[in-house]
Amino acid sequence: MNRPDKQALGGTVNARIGKVYMNLSKAHKKAADYVLTNVFRSATMSIDELANAVGISVATANRFARALGFEGYPQFRAELVSGFEAMLVPIDNLRSEVQRPATSTEIIAGSLNEDLTNLEATRRGLDPELCNQAVRMILNAERIYIIGYGASGFLGGLMAHSLDPFCNTVQSTMGTAGPSTVARQLFKYTEKDLVIGISFPRYADDVVTILRQLKEKNVPILALTDAPSSPLASMANVTLFAQTRRQFSPNSEGAALCLIEAICSAVAHQAKAPVHAASEMTKFVLPWLYQDPVQSHTKHRAPASELADMDREG
């Protein structure tokens, strides 16, 4: 078979496959079907891994790449990887780290040092005016909805829990049926409300899509993300950044959570009658809080400051 014209087969791997699919051999079609169905997985595979997954020889896998107009498999994989670079960085980092000899103690200590570095970088990067704006947006909003998916969904749930005593209505995506259900709820949001978007690499496309829709409706947006290059930054009225680099995972949720807790502390400090709000909530949920059997016999009423502290427990 004549070697394909590389210029004629330019474009993405999907486009190249589409141009020659009908002329591919049976084995090459099998490889093409696998790649089209498992694009991301294929991008992470060596030629041996792809050959084993498809059930063809290494030589056939290399000829498949050449049939698409590539010099060989390395060029084919490089094209697959393009566009997935940010997503593959954690995988490459993990691959490098697990090959490095180290004790569990060294790994744990190193991970903690990473978070210390992240926290210091986050602290240094704080903009006083943006911090003040973020707190005012939270306190002035009639309703607050916190959007996050994956690990950011849990962060959003914790943020909603901390803000709840000091804000009228706070909801998050935790426990919702999905993005379309969230969109139906946010359709009613106006300029008097606030949406907080949380996403770090690898960014959740659902968060980006929802924030884009809200921006068109002029709903105020506060973004919590990692860098000005984040897709959330361009859509938010105010963005606060947390450095979340980590070798063994895509992000440090610890650094992101520290920023969230810091914001909530500032909100509590600026809120009207925060001690009263925390005390009233604590008294309401008291039946569900564990009490020491010995201490529960004492009839002394706890000071309001102690009740406020209790709200932080659990």
| Residue 76 near residue 117 (C-beta atoms within 8 A) | no
The reply to whether 73 falls in a domain is yes
143 in the same domain as 77: no
264 in the same domain as 285: no
203 in the same domain as 70: no
- Token digits of residue 172: 């998050």
Alpha carbon separation from 98 to 106, 212, 250, 276 (Å, rounded): 13, 39, 15, 51
231 in the same domain as 280: no
CB proximity list for 216: less than 8 A, separation 6 or greater: none
| Residue 241 near residue 130 (C-beta atoms within 8 A) | no
CATH code where residue 248 lies? 3.40.50.10490
299 in the same domain as 209: no
| Residue 12 near residue 39 (C-beta atoms within 8 A) | no
178 in the same domain as 227: yes
168-172 contacts, C-beta under 8 A, 24 or more apart: 168/141, 168/142, 168/143, 169/142, 169/143, 169/144, 170/143, 170/144, 170/145, 170/146, 171/143, 171/144, 171/145, 171/146, 172/145, 172/146, 172/147, 172/148
Number of domains the chain is built from: 3
The reply to whether 214 falls in a domain is yes
What is the total residue count of the chain? 314
Residue 194, φ and ψ in degrees, nearest 5: -145, 135
The reply to whether 99 falls in a domain is no
The reply to whether 254 falls in a domain is yes
* CB-count burial class (<10 Å; 0-12, 13-18, 19+) for 158: middle
249 in the same domain as 296: no
- Taking only the tens place, the pLDDT of each residue in 17-47 is 988 999 999 999 999 999 988 887 888 889 9
- Taking only the tens place, the pLDDT of each residue in 206-223 is 999 999 999 999 999 999
175 in the same domain as 74: no
261 in the same domain as 226: yes
User: 26, 50, 81 — which closes off a domain?
Assistant: 81
Domain around 244: 123-272
| Residue 68 near residue 16 (C-beta atoms within 8 A) | yes
pLDDT band at 91; cut points 50, 70, 90: low
Report which of residues 130 and 251 the model is more confident about.
130
In the predicted structure, residue 134 carries a pLDDT above the cut 90: yes
Q: How far apart are CA 59 and CA 52, in angstroms?
A: 12
282 in the same domain as 236: no
CATH code where residue 76 lies? 1.10.10.10
160 in the same domain as 224: yes
The reply to whether 176 falls in a domain is yes
Classify strands 144-147 and 194-198 as parallel, antiparallel or unpaired.
parallel
User: 81, 109, 137 — which closes off a domain?
Assistant: 81
Angle between helices 73-81 and 47-54 (to 10 degrees): 90
150 in the same domain as 35: no
Q: In the predicted model, what is the mean pLDDT of the chain?
A: 84
The reply to whether 3 falls in a domain is no
The reply to whether 29 falls in a domain is yes
| Residue 142 near residue 193 (C-beta atoms within 8 A) | yes
Instruction: Quickly tell me which residue has 């379309």 as its tokens.
Output: 180
pTM of the model: 0.64
Integer-rounded Cα radius of gyration of the chain: 26
pLDDT band at 295; cut points 50, 70, 90: low
- Taking only the tens place, the pLDDT of each residue in 151-166 is 999 999 999 999 998 9
The reply to whether 26 falls in a domain is yes
| DSSP code string of 65-77 | HHHTT-SSHHHHH
Q: How far apart are CA 130 and CA 314, in angstroms?
A: 30
